[in-house]
Chain A
Amino acid sequence: MGRIVLDQVSKSFGKTEVIPPLDLTIEDGEFTVFVGPSGCGKSTLLRLIAGLEDVSGGKVSIDGKEMTEVPPAKRGLSMVFQSYALYPHMSVRKNIAFPLRMAKMDKAEIKKRVEDAATVLNLTDYLSRRPGQLSGGQRQRVAIGRAIVREPSAFLFDEPLSNLDAALRVGMRLEISEMHKRLATTMIYVTHDQVEAMTMADKIVVLQAGVIEQVGSPLELYRAPRNTFVAGFIGSPKMNLLTGEEAAKHDAHTIGIRPEHITISNESGTWEGVVGVSEHLGSDSFFHVKCDGFEDPLTVRAGGELQLSYGAKVFLTPDTAHLHRFNDQGLRIE
């Protein structure tokens, strides 16, 4: 069980309002990702749910019980911190056992649970080490181990992978996703990385300056971004956003077209332009094309085989079926 409901929850630090009142429901068993640029209030929102910060207004309820005034330990949630927050003077075994010891569980049960968690997380050989003697990835696992032994009703992750190198991050991403499938427990995961959000989430919550811009599944957000912020934030590389004359042709203030929805050709097309920087990833190539009449260069995706030299003249054709239109407030026009 772990259905979390935020009702008009807001937070101010002194006079600055970091999170204006917002409503959000996280269903039981759902993997929800809060994503947004740094400083948009993701951590703050997570800490409000955890109870590590007091709300300035509104109500937090978990499984139908109002938890707004309940201290963090009594909410039945586990949290994995960005810095891991392991206890440096305790061995891995003691770190993982700590929440169970605090809950006064009997010794045999603690031993069993710690060893089970260690087996799942590949930590069996490291149980007697201190956190200082572990690699970043292992510390991450210990932090997760400490969170799962309590069998919480929901897990909270605050940018758990941002201190790992790229290869390890991809691996841990998979492990966390797999853990979610196996445990089927509610997870709330905070990240500024839209790739993590897209790959892991059942539901993405896009935040900007404490305001929820859109809530939806990764593909909903990709296919129908509600506004220009979400359009620019979700998807990699970023969606091309065009204003002015070209947008007016489609009765919009701004139009958006993703790099993968533009075809590039040497002979003919809608727009004519000059190739700038090219990025070759092997499977794909991304070209930055400067077109006449557009302020910013367009990013275009092409197959990995295509080679275009700097300064070459090319033609671009947008796939109008995948064109996104936005009005002058930046909101989507259906």
Chain B
Amino acid sequence: MATQHSRSAARMMMAPAVVLLLGWMLVPLIMTLFFSFKKYLPLRGDTLGGGLEWVGFQNYVRFFSSSSFWPSVQTTLIIVGSVLIITVLLGTLLALLLDQPMWGQGVVRILVIAPFFVMPTVSALVWKNMFMDPVNGILAHLWKFFDAVPIQWLSHESLPSIIMIVSWQWLPFATLILLTAVQSLDSEQLEASEMDGAPKLKRFWHIVLPHLSRAITIVILIQTIFLLSIFAEIFVTTGGAFGTKTLTYLIFQRVLDSQNVGLGSAGGVYAIILANIVAIFLMRIVGKNLDT
């Protein structure tokens, strides 16, 4: 894309997509902002057509001062952080293992990737009913086998349970990205470091890990985007009870349970702010890995 001509041609070609994407983003964003300053309770007879009452920052103050607000932010951050740590660590380990030549490699790789294709709702239900059920779940049977009292996973260990379910879903993604990165490492570099006297662990630390840094960054950034908005996993398991109410879930409750669109919209704006704070921190910490 060197010449003036090809640049303007490129702009023309991209314009429809840019306009469409911008519209897709701007319309909901503006509507959310609009509702967040209004009193909008559909069940009390408020309608768009009838005109909505302007309430200033009242919704924001109410959402912020609700006793659920800070715990929900905390829960969100705990889930996102834990899932990131678990998936990156286990993903790296799995990627290294899957890179080893072994019997049945193709099948094993497909099995490892499989969880990613299961819908969140389905996988959460499978975990809830088949693994974590305190009476019939596999984990309960396992505990009983060792003469232990089965854990009431979703009520007593609710947050770790959710983290486990979500990690299980996202581990394949991390593994897949990291595996391709591991495979792209020049084997001569490893051999050179071997000749230079670096034992296995040091080779991993000095050669493999720096090579993976960019892939790890990508995994972290992409996963964060999706993890900030997990919903189905909480909806079908704890329903937001037992301290598993994330910011997304809180907004959902305000809009649908309490039928307060204005309040929910204000929560939505907080969610946008939280996502941006997280993004800024992440870019500060890992963003430099993306520079060449």
Contacts and interface: CB of A to CB of B under 8 A. Distances in A.
A281 interface: no
A306 interface: no
Given A85-B189, A132-B292, A72 B195 contact: yes
Nearest to B191: A52
Interface string B199-215: 10010001100110100
Given A83-B188, A102-B202, A78 B195 contact: yes
Contact of B198 (A81, A83, A88, A102): A102
Interface in B170-196: 186, 188-189, 191-196
B45 interface: no
B195 A73 contact: yes
B197 interface: yes
Contacts of A81: 188, 191-192
B9 to A, nearest CB: 32
A235 interface: no
B191 A146 contact: no
B211 A50 contact: no
B185 to A, nearest CB: 10
Nearest to B190: A85
Given A50-B195, A102-B197, A132-B292, A87 B188 contact: no
A52 B195 contact: yes
Contacts of B211: 88-89
A321 interface: no
Given A73-B194, A99-B197, A103-B197, A85 B202 contact: no
A125 to B, nearest CB: 22
A77 interface: yes
Interface size class of B (residues with CB under 8 A): 10 to 19
Interface string A103-137: 10000000000000000000000000000100000
Nearest to A78: B195
Given A85-B186, A87-B189, A89-B210, A79 B195 contact: yes
B203 to A, nearest CB: 10
Nearest to A53: B191
A65 B198 CA distance: 22
A98 B193 contact: yes
A83 B186 contact: yes
Given A98-B206, A102-B202, A73 B197 contact: yes
B206 A85 contact: no
Interface string B210-244: 11010000000000000000000000000000000
Contacts of B193: 87, 98, 102
Contacts of B194: 52, 71-73
A146 B186 contact: no
Interface in A42-84: 50, 52, 71-73, 77-79, 81-83
B19 to A, nearest CB: 38
A146 B188 CA distance: 14
A77 B194 CA distance: 11
Contacts of A98: 193, 196, 198, 206
Contacts of B192: 79, 81, 85, 87, 146
Nearest to B289: A89
Contacts of A150: 196
A72 B197 CA distance: 8
Interface string A263-307: 000000000000000000000000000000000000000000000
A78 B194 CA distance: 10
Nearest to B198: A102
A41 B57 CA distance: 77
A71 B199 CA distance: 10
Nearest to A50: B195
A74 B196 CA distance: 9
A102 B196 contact: yes
Contacts of A79: 191-192, 195
B191 A87 contact: no
A13 B109 CA distance: 25
Nearest to B194: A72
Q: 10 smallest A-B Cβ distances: which pairs?
A: A99-B196, A85-B192, A85-B188, A102-B197, A73-B197, A89-B210, A81-B188, A72-B195, A102-B198, A85-B189
Interface of A: 50, 52, 71-73, 77-79, 81-83, 85-90, 98-99, 102-103, 132, 146, 150
5 contacts: A79-B195, A81-B191, A83-B186, A87-B192, A87-B193
Given A73-B198, A83-B186, 19 more contacts: A52-B195, A73-B194, A73-B197, A77-B195, A81-B188, A81-B191, A81-B192, A85-B186, A88-B211, A89-B210, A89-B211, A89-B213, A98-B193, A99-B196, A99-B197, A102-B193, A102-B197, A146-B192, A150-B196
Interface of B: 186, 188-189, 191-199, 202, 206-207, 210-211, 213, 292
